[in-house]
Amino acid sequence: MTPPATPVTATLAIRVNGDPRLVAPGTTLAEVVAELSSAPSGIAAAVNETVVPRGAWSATALAADDRIEILTAVQGG
């Protein structure tokens, strides 16, 4: 009997600003945002159409199939 195969590193498939991404379980919203910008303000993020305040980013662990939108202000209007 061989033991059931357990993947060494499971990954989660998520979408960040429309692009498919694979991340490790436990990855937080703060880590995903940090890859795109280090700006201390001017950025907002939503997970599955719900705004997550900046203060909660590091406590927000992402789940499989999460859709993350990370926005900032641009020229417009």
Site membership for another protein, residue 30 (CB under 8 A): no
**Which x/- pattern over 4-23 shows residues binding another protein (rule: CB under 8 A)?**
-------------xx-----
Q: Which stretch binds another protein (CB under 8 A): 4-12, 23-31, 49-57, 58-66?
A: 49-57
Compute the CA torsion angle 18, 21, 23, 25 (nearest 10 deg).
60
Task: Give CA–CA dist 33/67, Å, rounded.
Answer: 13
| Neighbour tally for 12: CB within 10 Å | 17
Q: How far is the CB of 28 from another protein (least distance, A)?
A: 17
Structure tokens at 49: 């159409």
Task: Write out the residues near another protein by the rule CB under 8 A.
Answer: 17-18, 36-37, 41-46, 49, 51, 53-54, 69-77
